[in-house]
Amino acid sequence: MGHLSLLREPFHELARIRRGHRSGGPPLWDYRPTRDDPPDSNPGLSHSNPTAGEFRIGLQSFKNGIRDRTTFLGIGIGRRNRKDFKGILMSHNPKSLLVTGGAGFIGANFVHYWLERYPDHRIVVLDALTYAGNLENLDPVRKNPSFRFVHGDIRDFDLVVRLLREEEIDTIVHFAAESHVDRSIQGADAFIDTNVLGTHTLLKAAKAVWLDRGPSVRPHRFHHVSTDEVYGTLGPADSPFRETTAYAPNSPYAASKAASDHLVRAWHHTYGLDTTTSNCSNNYGPYHFPEKLIPLMIVNILEGKPLPVYGDGMQVRDWLHVEDHCRGIDRVIRRGAPGETYNIGGSNEQPNMTIVNRLCRLTDEAFEDTPGLKQRFPKAPPADGQLSAQLITHVTDRPGHDRRYAINAEKARNELGYRPEITFEAGLKKTLHWYLENETWWRHVKGKA
Ligand SMILES: NC(=O)c1ccc[n+]([C@@H]2O[C@H](COP(=O)([O-])OP(=O)(O)OC[C@H]3O[C@@H](n4cnc5c(N)ncnc54)[C@H](O)[C@@H]3O)[C@@H](O)[C@H]2O)c1
């Protein structure tokens, strides 16, 4: 079978071909990149030296019935040669994105990142505005004609289907979730409802619109944003989590995210939905709700309140600036292979205590260097020449608290060319200054919670 005959194959058929379930006809894994391939579809892969054992499936992409470009839907690599392959597996070119949970911390940062980088793309945010969602997070883009906000729930199947059709969405970036571990310990219902049932509803809607409408399937992508917490906890000497690490979620939050990851996987393998998943480590940066470690510590110092540290404070997390996470998601959406998962992390393991101490030091320095802070935040210890660290208070540890998370991000680095760009020291400083400059924002979101 030549490549041309594939143009008529429905997407799920292509997915089956990719898995080798199709009988008859010669194998398809004889494709080699040509000089006509989009230049960024294979950076790092030398055209003159293609890797043996790779195959790709080409499919024409159609917009309003007109062929506008060729998109390569899939590429598989012979197991034997996989480790040798340094190229990019896939090229997906989004034009119209549905961002769920776009009024939350990472979602809002992603919207800003994306519109800055791709100003001609359409972005529709669907967000239920729970305690964690805040329209002010999107203020800088609210008047942008490429942007639309829809107040609604990802569990509303009819609404999601309507939006996918009306906005000709080709890419879903799924952030919406209940995301705070402590809240999941107090009550898991909302976590199951949104993270599991909500993801299920989105997948059903995506399938209904993208796959069930006839033989010609438009290029599409369902990107699921997940967490490293699905892998459980590591001992001090254990190797960091890889994409192949067995799932072992320990909190209700992590279990609900693990369940959603499995649903996404199943929708790809069963129906051929073009999905990707990223499992990321702890994020920090602007618009972070002040119940999470870094913003909580900053805000409490400024208000002169205790800095609660769980147990001995030696729980280790791999911290990544949210902008670097957005950069990673961008790579996965545009270059990740269908059905694949990618770990995204900062290779930046830090015990909580180290972070709290650093924030105390950075805040003390900021008060020394910035005139006016003492008057604006008179309750902060450095306003009175004291050290912020005096507010540190050890509290009873969280039940089932995972001791260590660490990400091995080699796959994203090797296959997608992904590397974080913001150092931890610079990122923390930037974040502290954002909170110092956006007091109205954090006072408002704290008041709402
Ligand atoms: N924060 C991190 O460090 C981190 C790390 C790795 C992965 N993640 C994942 O990234 C995603 C975003 O995390 P975050 O920290 O920005 O979360 P967040 O709690 O700040 O934001 C979640 C957003 O989802 C919205 N939402 C909740 N339920 C909804 C529903 N039923 N329908 C529509 N919208 C709904 C909320 O209103 C909010 O705007 C989550 O899926 C989370 O699991 C977070």
Indicate which CATH number applies to the domain containing 215.
3.40.50.720
Report CA(176)–ligand 1 centroid distance (Å). Answer: 4
Statement to judge: residues 58 and 108 lie in one domain: no
In tens, the pLDDT along 126-135 reads: 999 999 999 9
What pLDDT score was predicted for residue 287? 98
With a 6 Å cutoff on the Cβ, whether 132 touches ligand 1 is yes
Best probe residue, ligand 1, of 130, 241, 350 (max atoms within 8 Å of C-beta): 130
Q: Can you tell me which atom of ligand 1 is nearest the CA of 131?
A: 37
Same domain, 256 and 333: yes
Domain that holds residue 204: 96-283+322-349+408-423
280 lines ligand 1 (CB under 6 A): yes
Last residue of a domain, one of 45, 62, 84: 84
Contact of 115 with 147, CB cutoff 8 Å: yes
The reply to whether 89 falls in a domain is no
Asked if the structure places residue 438 within a domain, the reply is no
Residues 31, 144 share a domain: no
**Which residues participate in catalysis according to the annotation?**
228-229, 253
Clarify whether residues 9 and 144 are in a common domain: no
The CA 134 to ligand 1 mean position distance, Å, reads 11
Check pocket membership of 194 for ligand 1, CB cut-off 6 A: yes
pLDDT on residue 25? 28
Look at residue 90 in the predicted model and tell me its pLDDT. Answer: 66
User: What is residue 69's predicted lDDT score, i.e. its pLDDT?
Assistant: 31
Give the mutation target among 160, 173, 179 for probing the ligand 1 site: most ligand atoms within 8 A of CB.
Answer: 179
Tokens of 58: 């080409």
Work out whether strand 147-151 and strand 275-280 pair parallel, antiparallel, or are unpaired.
unpaired
Out of 98, 106, 180, mutate this one to test ligand 1's pocket (max ligand atoms within 8 Å of CB): namely: 106
Taking 50 as the pLDDT cut, the residues of the chain under it are 1-88
Domain count, the chain: 2
- Ligand 1 centre to CA of 194 (Å) is 10
Domain boundary among the residues 19, 50, 84 is at 84
pTM for this model (two decimals): 0.83
Sheet holding 316-321, edge to edge: 282-284, 316-321, 349-351
Give the burial string for 253-269 (b: 16+ CB within 10 Å, else e): bbbbbbbbbebbbebbe
**Number of alpha carbons in the 13 Å side-chain half-sphere of residue 84:** 12
Residue-wise pLDDT for 144-154, tens only, equals 999 999 999 99
Same domain flag for 114 and 236: yes
**249 and 125 assigned to the same domain:** yes
